[in-house]
Structure 1
Amino acid sequence: MGEGGGRRKFLEPFRGEVPDVPPIWLMRQAGRYLPEYRALRAEAGDFLTLCYTPKLAAEVTLQPIRRYGFDAAILFSDILVVPDALGQAVRFAEGEGPRLDPIRSTDAVGRLDLARATAKFDIVAETVARLRQDLPAETALIGFCGAPWTVATYMVQGQGSADQVEARLWAYRDPDGFEALIALLVAASIDYLDRQVRAGADCLMVFDTWAGSLPDDEFDRWVVAPTRAIREAVRDLHPDVPIIGFPRGAGATAVWYVSETGVDGIGCDTATPPFVMSEAFDEEDVVVQGNLDPLLLVAGGDRLDERVDEILDLMRGKRFIFNLGHGIVPQTPPENVARLVARVRGQG
């Protein structure tokens, strides 16, 4: 973890330290709730163009740092960069989310190509390098990828879905065939994250947004095992770079996830009660991150202050990073984010 000219507070919990005031950053902190983001998005014209234009992607990443002084910036990109780089057709329909040409057979997996991913991965790495140069010395930089299971659900379904039915059925009916897709995504994710670290990322996060859709035996095969493989390979390459896992919806299996994957940090979703965050991971050598409801950040007011204080009180003395339980939603008032940051830092 190169630290340039400043000590990065965000990294302190991963060194075993307990800061008096926890570091804070927010998932999707660069995005549609900011007017400056919407202006830049309009300039780019297309979401993937924005992701693949280093100058613009770096600017989007920097926008919330300028506004709020978060302790960490997270690379502006998307989890579907990986299937796009592998050769699957990916597009973003305005107001409808991502659309992909579905992959539902081993033959279709065979037409994807890890070698061709290098060109687009290198574009993202260029964004990371720009950010490491332009960020304040004290601000950590988080790189990321989507976890293989979650990325696969989009690749197989052809879009986001409430129940991930096509991927789940393929995994049940032809687990060896589905394993070929997961194995390719593991290899691509390792390469992708390695390039981000070499370009300047201080920390990595693996987003498994749809982990909660699987029963325990399938969870082990499609969530835990691929994440462990990524963590082991990246740690071999970069032993000092912490990795945060975010198995959204994992519930009671989150402790098992931490134990079996070996991640350095665990992102807790909104459904995880603060007292569970405070107590459940005590036996694990792990930093806890989470878990404010993004809709409470929209509502604001006294209830926001009360919940922030409750989380801070329960996590006092712990290796803790303040965050949301999922990403900021577009209707969030920017002034509520400022209020949150001030409250966490004891300034409001």
Structure 2
Amino acid sequence: MSEMMRSRARRAHPFPLVAAATGGRPERRPVWFMRQAGRSLPEYRAIRADHGMLESCFDPELVCEITMQPVRRHDVDAAILFSDIVVPLKAAGIDLDIVAGTGPVIADPVRTAGDVANLPRLDDHSVGAIANAIGLLLDELPDRTALIGFAGAPFTLASYLIEGGPSRHYERTKALMYGDPDTWHALMGRLADITITFLRVQLEAGVDAVQLFDSWAGMLSLADYQTFVAPHSARVFAEIADHDVPRIHFGVGTGELLGAMADAGADVIGVDWRVPLHEAVRRVGPGKAVQGNLDPTLLFAGPEVVEREVRRVVADGDRAVRAGATGHIMNLGHGVLPGTDPEVLTRAVELIHSL
């Protein structure tokens, strides 16, 4: 069966996540967790003992297996494609590696107009392994479990390329942004091209939703976000709008940016734990779904605390819907932490589905 036929067959079934994202009535409150594919699972660590991160991301069988592990274990309502935000950069030919304990490290940082001009473009055939992995997943996923594709937003990709790796203060990124706005926008345009190509490959392979991670946008003021970032994220969302799937937008520490992030064109706004969901709706405005927003560290606080806080977030999600959100997708306010007990996640999903 072709990827398109598989995708159409799956979409004949009601996905709770898609219903919540689009104003429908899901049969149960959908829940999934960022960084659920890996991190805390012993079966994931067993695979990674013999395979590097980037190797795993470009192996369709490994991508399928790792993506499926939390679905089998937790009964979450969505699988998110196992990958990394720098995968399309690597596929395009940028010299980088993911270093254990550090994160992505760029061999030749991008800091001048010449560096931007020399950036390669992403050919969709270079991420054919990801499309193949999606085909395998569509055959294996339960009928009512949505598959989420994802990509890093241009700003977050730019921050890695400019800094050469993770950063605490993003001084080089901001220096280029403020000091040479023409080069900045040229870089963001090239990265938007890469992001669009990567997302379109996933969409054409049959994912049921996509999430754009702007992980580090929270370092910016609202004015800077609107000037230097929002137009490029908006272009990404506009270029994939012809695929009729929910588009999710998420960043960390973005409470002051939620309205502007919503204006960029997503259908669902991810909210971290710093802003209550009903307050997020006030900032975003009606007509969007919200996703979130349990603090990941609360999963270490014991069963009574986890139950109390899950119930609080669920109730807050209901308040958000009454305030104008089209739906609520339960999630964490950021990713699963590596030391999280998987049983805690499983019990949390059971509780969420019972409420």
State the TM bucket, normalised to the shorter chain.
Answer: over 0.9
2:32 pairs, out of 25, 36, 56, with 25
**Equivalent residue for 2:46?**
39
Rounded to whole Å, the distance in 2 between the matches of 1:173 and 1:263 is: 30
Aligned-residue offset at 1:75: 0.3
Inter-CA distance 248–311: structure 2 relative to 1 (3 Å threshold): same
1:208 pairs, out of 204, 211, 214, with 214
The alignment's TM-score, normalised by the length of structure 2, stands at 0.92
Structure 1 segment 74-93 matched on structure 2, within 5 A: 74-93=80-99
2:185 pairs, out of 179, 184, 188, with 179
Q: Is the CA contact 1:11–1:140 (under 8 Å) kept in the aligned structure 2?
A: yes
Identity of aligned residues (%): 36
Rounded to whole Å, the distance in 2 between the matches of 1:165 and 1:129 is: 41
Letter in 1 for 2:266: V
CA deviation profile, 1:267-323 (whole Å, cap 9, x unmatched) = 001211244145444x33111000101111132321111111111112227210000
Which sits farther off after the overlay, 308-317 or 261-270? Answer: 308-317
- Counterpart check, 1:2 vs 2:19: no
Structure 1 residue matching 2:193: 3-state secondary structure: helix
Which sits farther off after the overlay, 93-102 or 271-280? Answer: 271-280
**Equivalent residue for 1:245?**
249
Structure 1 segment 34-113 matched on structure 2, within 5 A: 34-44=41-51, 46-101=52-107, 102-113=109-120
- Counterpart check, 1:269 vs 2:275: no
**Equivalent residue for 2:258?**
254
| Pairwise CA RMSD | 1.7
Q: Is the CA contact 1:23–1:321 (under 8 Å) kept in the aligned structure 2?
A: yes
Count of residue correspondences: 341
Letter in 1 for 2:110: I
2:205 pairs, out of 170, 188, 199, with 199
Structure 1 segment 101-180 matched on structure 2, within 5 A: 101=107, 102-115=109-122, 117-180=123-186
Q: Is the CA contact 2:295–2:333 (under 8 Å) kept in the aligned structure 1?
A: yes
**Equivalent residue for 1:309?**
311
Structure 2 residue matching 1:16: 3-state secondary structure: coil
Structure 2 residue matching 1:37: 3-state secondary structure: helix
Rounded to whole Å, the distance in 1 between the matches of 2:133 and 2:113 is: 33
Structure 1 segment 306-345 matched on structure 2, within 5 A: 306-316=308-318, 318=321, 319-345=327-353
The alignment's TM-score, normalised by the length of structure 1, stands at 0.93
Letter in 2 for 1:22: R
Letter in 1 for 2:36: Q
Inter-CA distance 301–30: structure 2 relative to 1 (3 Å threshold): same
Aligned-residue offset at 1:121: 1.8
Rounded to whole Å, the distance in 2 between the matches of 1:133 and 1:221 is: 43
Rounded to whole Å, the distance in 2 between the matches of 1:65 and 1:253 is: 32
Letter in 2 for 1:293: D
CA deviation profile, 1:41-73 (whole Å, cap 9, x unmatched) = 1122x1100000010011000000000111000
1:217 pairs, out of 201, 217, 223, with 223
Q: Is the CA contact 1:278–1:314 (under 8 Å) kept in the aligned structure 2?
A: no
Inter-CA distance 118–17: structure 2 relative to 1 (3 Å threshold): closer
CA deviation profile, 1:100-152 (whole Å, cap 9, x unmatched) = 1211112112222215x433322211111211121111110000000000111
Structure 2 residue matching 1:57: 3-state secondary structure: helix
Rounded to whole Å, the distance in 2 between the matches of 1:255 and 1:263 is: 11
Aligned-residue offset at 1:222: 3.0
Q: Is the CA contact 2:278–2:316 (under 8 Å) kept in the aligned structure 1?
A: yes
- Counterpart check, 1:230 vs 2:236: yes
Structure 1 residue matching 2:49: 3-state secondary structure: helix
Rounded to whole Å, the distance in 2 between the matches of 1:94 and 1:82 is: 19
Rounded to whole Å, the distance in 1 between the matches of 2:271 and 2:258 is: 8
Aligned-residue offset at 1:2: 3.4
